[in-house]
A and B are shown apart, each in its own frame.
Chain A
Amino acid sequence: MTRAAEETRQPVRVRRRVVPVRHYGRGALAVLAAAVVALIIYGFAGNPNIEWPVVGDYLFHADILEGLLRTLEMTALGMVFSLIGATIVALMRMSPSRVISGIAAGYIFVFRGIPLILLLVFVGNVGLFVDRITIGIPFTGLHVFSEPSSAVLTPFVASVIGLSLAGSGYMAEIVRAGLLAIGRGQRDAAKALGLNSLRTTRYVVLPQALRVIVPPMGNELISMLKATAIVSVIGGGDLLTIAQAISGANYRTIELLLVAAVWYFVVIAVLTVGQHYLERRIAER
């Protein structure tokens, strides 16, 4: 290489000042948005008609805490039963038998299609058309369990049943999507090793499907928590029911709604953090 050629290859090193594009519109919009948020907060915080000390008084009121506990119990039970039901329905939906698969499809159609509030009122009022709930052999009179409907279906039990029916209908489709995400090669490999379909599902397909299923299930858990508020229509004893009962007596409607809202936010914040860590752990492997 000649000397002249080498010289022309030398990069010219001159420092130039970089002037970024100014986003004037973006800045103006940010100021405007911040102003709106500030106004909303001021509207609540500085509103003379909202007595914030009352919110503080009731935040840790024994009845409110009991309602919160009920809400958490319902969420947990509803979620557990929904997951079990969803897994069963999803597996049925994928059955080679058209009857079994059709029944599962019908289940999903019915319980996804009914508004939760209707379902809850319906389950809560089963006593209106079924006098006794009996477990036994039909038409023989033999039974292991028989109680009046009203004694079995307390508002709490009815709430958990309603939440579980609706939840399992929704979650069955999530579980099914997770199961379908596992390729045929995995089933082939398990089969070739001599595993039957039950073991293949249990040890090969489900553990892998879980990775696909967990993130949307976190959202379902949060939805379930919020859905428990709807059981107040059958007096489920949850946080919102209690808050409304108290405000019915002292006329502090807005204050008690705010008490309930604060608790829902707290629980959802905790769940969101938990979901974040769970997803990260799953992604690690």
Chain B
Amino acid sequence: MAQGVHGRRRVGLGETFWQYRDYEPGDPPTSIDWRQTAKSDRVFVRQMEWEAAQSVWCWRDASASMDWRSHNRLPRKRERAELLLLALMILMTRAGEHVTLLGTGMTPSAGRGMLGRFTELLTQEQADRAASLPPMEPLPRSAQVLLLGDFLSPLEEIEKTLRGFAERGVSGHLVQVLAPAEETLPYHGRVRFEGLEGERTWLLSRAEGVRDDYRRRLRAQEDGIAAIARRTGWQCTWHRTDRPPQTALLAVYGALSRQA
């Protein structure tokens, strides 16, 4: 499934055969395909498909809400998101794509050496200064964007961000990483919930009583994200930290390849 450069479905400079066309005056004689010409009375010129490498801008949510895990045996959401992000970047670099991190201002590159630099940048970023949604940045058309995060922000904000990308013709992929407890709300009895990003606390006398309502709300959030992605031509994938990361990796990489 890995191919480095992607055909642009037009004539141009490339290595893959695209079409034969009749010779027209002005074509360089070296472009004539003599073998094909010899088969008939006409003179053919061999044309190649225009090929260019894709540029992918990657981003992961580094906010405090990602720095959490529901169980000691599980990785933190941020760790899992960074793992997926780095794995995808390595895969894409191997496939010859140009990758960079969104928000750093670095130009996309296919060099292996850049991966170390990206890793350093990912681990350095502090949770308290990071936003829950990616910043807007002028991107070239036909660029790809890969976003990883928990996307628990209000749907309007998410839509605004994605629409901002889509208006510039930038499509992309969105991966929601959640801890299992965020999906099942496995708490009992009297619990005081505290947010991680300065939200107010919420005291529940019986946490198990609101489980169904909570799930309904979470489902609505997920459906909302999916709807926004559909409208803006994006794709989205869901991942839980108790599931193996390979599954998510394959799904996301396959989707990216198809998109390209």
Q: Do A and B bind each other?
A: no
